[in-house]
Amino acid sequence: MNSALAAVDLDRTLIFSAASAGAGVDGLRCVEHLDDRPLSYMSPTTVDLLDELDARALVVPVTTRTVEQYRRVRFPGRPRAFAVAANGGEILVDGEPDPVWRKQIDAAVSTAMPVPSVYARVVADGDPVWLRAARVADELFCYAVIDPAAAPDDLVERWRVWAEADGWNVSRQGRKVYLMPDAVTKWSAVAEVAARAGVPADRVFAAGDGALDRPVLEHAHRSIRPRHGELEELSWHHPTLSVSSASGVAASEEVVAALLRWAGGTGPDVRPAADRERNP
């Protein structure tokens, strides 16, 4: 039985592109390549802290990436017994999608608008001036790649009008607008992994930076987000949520250090933002 579980978002929480790192990539560790080009990086300090965290908790990568995209990341340290991909639509067990979980997800989303219909609505409403691409991910959800400067200011709200009526939600992260079935959440998958691993609810911790991470951050016993990303732009807080003092790749060091301390290690004590405001 594992004594703790740390559910950690990947992009802009644990790993960073050169553009999102907030500094040059010199000295960073490349953990992902695409077409032989370096794509994502980690801080060496984060790598060391992650190794310590592995000794005290079941570390579960949690991402909206597809299974294929997730597999491009070469994590340092031990193999991951569990991972969550496709925003919770897939649980990977020893690197392979779990068919039992996927069957449950497919049944749960069967009452919502079908994926092809959602994709067709996105394409029909798109304008080549701002719509760069539209994709279906793992046959579970859709996302649009947009030019934020040229896209309509009310795009997300406009799509929400029809999506929410048919069991979907819409959120934006940078250049991507995600359309996700309500039944597909990172938290549902993390809760399933915790149950399988025998981790009690008060030993589940989480980290993430985007709106799609919010259910995990809300339901975990304690959670932390970096001082950047979509949730920072929304000024989103929660009673059990901490916020890093740093942004960019430096925030990942604080994030993993906090998870390590909560799991029983020696990371710094990162208090919830509300506590810091009351007791600086």
Q: Are residues 204 and 257 in the same domain?
A: yes
Question: For position 272, what pLDDT does the model report?
Answer: 47
Q: What is the pLDDT of residue 76?
A: 85
CATH value at residue 23: 3.40.50.1000
Same domain, 205 and 75: yes
Same domain, residue pair 210 and 256: yes
The answer on pLDDT for 140 being more than 80 is yes
Considering the domain architecture, whether residues 175 and 189 belong to the same structural domain is answered as no
Give the pLDDT band (50/70/90) at residue 21: confident
φ and ψ at residue 72, rounded to 5 degrees: -70, -25
The reply to whether 124 and 160 lie within a common domain is yes
- Residues 89, 204 within the same domain: yes
Question: How confident is the model at residue 77, as a pLDDT?
Answer: 80
Please report the sign of the dihedral spanned by the C-alpha atoms of residue 224, residue 230, residue 236, residue 238.
negative
Residue span of the structural domain in which 143 resides: 112-181
**At which of 181, 208, 239 does a domain end?**
181
Residue found by looking up tokens 């570390």 in the block = 59
% of the chain residues with pLDDT over 90 = 88
CATH number, position 142: 3.90.1070
pTM: 0.92
- Same structural domain, 51 and 101: yes
15-24, 154-163, 237-246: which range is least confident on average? Answer: 15-24
37-60 pLDDT, tens digit each: 999 999 999 999 999 999 999 999
Q: pLDDT digit string (tens) for 245-265?
A: 999 999 999 999 999 999 997
- Please report the pLDDT score of residue 269 as a whole number: 56
Contacts of 199 (CB under 8 A, 6+ apart): 1, 2, 3, 4, 5, 58
